[in-house]
Structure 1
């Protein structure tokens, strides 16, 4: 086990506890990076002005720097500091915070959702992007196409992607840009969300389009993991599958207890001291958000799944200047989607699951078990072939 492999381990949380016991911020010799595991250390790193989201010498990953996906990447607010981060954020965040929950529910319920493996995949990975596309003024058909393109584009964000996936990501970036060019030129667009973003944005059109694409990419995996891990919580703890279970509380506790984003990274831009440790320019810090969520100094009884947890605190959506601007929208989409899934009275005894290969995300993929064995549902050309039965009792949540 190491802090990176932990993201997709069946149960990384005892390991995270051992890391916290060794010190909130320590240097990992094998990985050659610093690891922030405690709530105090994670908060300090995320707040420090010299801890940046990209290394100064490589603002865009070398693997994509020469393609359109790299051009989009380089303009994303989540991958920049200073004005290049503040300008798009100040335009996009206010509108996302004002999204009507009833509108989100209506958009989710308009989609065909089934509780089998194929239906769960579409609900997790396709549905949320379609909802955001509709909020921006795209048609349902355009939203479906955009969700497929977003699935290709997110490959540029992972160092595990192969050359074919990166080629597809560049093509997807070009097509997504084309969709937004047409949308921004459409005088009949009635989206109040898009109108507000355009009114607040003071930069160039290319930067605006890049960050609207970024809105899709952030929605894609983070929301999918939130929905999927909530389903796993229900499978592992069947007593939660009752009509009286408040779905909003369930989603809120899942994003703390078993978050879809397990870690993020920061790159030291200038000499600094954090938690008594001296860090130098070029140092890399692996920020274990999921570990900090389980720090008893942040939440009492952190390893217990408590629906009505008082004063719930979490680093899942980040903190400070790079806190996720779409937190409220992601939670609303996850709540509405899970509510719709549960309305079908699902029986999940026939499901198996595995985590998508990732260095930082915890994204379950579900599969139907057929009479002749496991029927794999192809997803994202990930190349994964491992399957696990749903761990009903063996890995049950503690409540």
Structure 2
């Protein structure tokens, strides 16, 4: 057996540790809890207490379903979401979806970099704007110049930073006897502010950039192994690969929403309980925790913002570059050398640059942050609808159509996101 064959021996993968099996699903789920997401969850916890915690429980099976569908599209077809849109659907649909995704991602990058700079300033002092530039530059340089085979494990290890938010739950005083009821029993209101926050939560947890990223990372991971082919051309490998994708996705999404719920619980038990209901950024949430929950909760919360941002900014910039690159049919992918994919890396750097510039402009990053989550919730609906249509096309999926249960969950997730977005429009 050659060295290449040994490198991709499926039995060797099965013998690997659980951590080695985890990949796109884990990093996708963890990047969902970026600083802008932390701000949204903190705002929800501070404003409504535990009342919206149920949305994070409800969304777990929906997230798992839609992310698994994204991964299957990439692994089966050998192309990402934008690549399949470019090959099989009208150009106006492709350009509209990719443009909205790029705009929302650039805004998210700006908000995340601003939160990282503010968090580091809280911890060590110094100029937050300088930290924004340094974080943005370091993110671009890492994605461009670190080989993908080495960069992917870095992203996986950065997911450990999310445990900071699980830790804060056990530092603050949570009313454990009352909390489960409020989290598990849905509270519903037709108040426009309530509905807007529901859309923001769902737009943060079920975001279009996550679909594009996981599908593309499945393609990248497969292309990095020379003996692997798209599953529609390698049907014998499909059961093993679908099993890996499901384990990876379930663990990643459950981990993501557990952390999100921990943030809501922490801010509900501290800020909301003490009447602090106006939280605009993740850094404000960390600072507000200091007098209420003590210096340890503050430090852990602030440090977590930096760690999650270091994971999320590359994912946001990378998914934007993947979408634009595939839409324009450029050579694309983090596994390519800079000289092989100049336009792809140019888009990645440009999206990050826009995020950096946002922090030096008159754009209100707080409003941009919240409304980017709302925009994500609205944009997700047509993207999910198109994805579900993709899974019915044999030229994309071959004979590997979705099993009935997964297809039903995918359409249910699409319907719920659509109904929530419609509710926001009707109560504007």
TM-score, normalized by length of structure 2?
Answer: 0.29
Looking at secondary structure, tell me which structure has more strand per residue.
1
Please report the TM-score for the alignment, with normalisation by the length of structure 1: 0.31
Q: Please identify which structure carries the higher helix content.
A: 2
Q: Which has the higher contact order (CA 8 A, sep 6+)?
A: 2
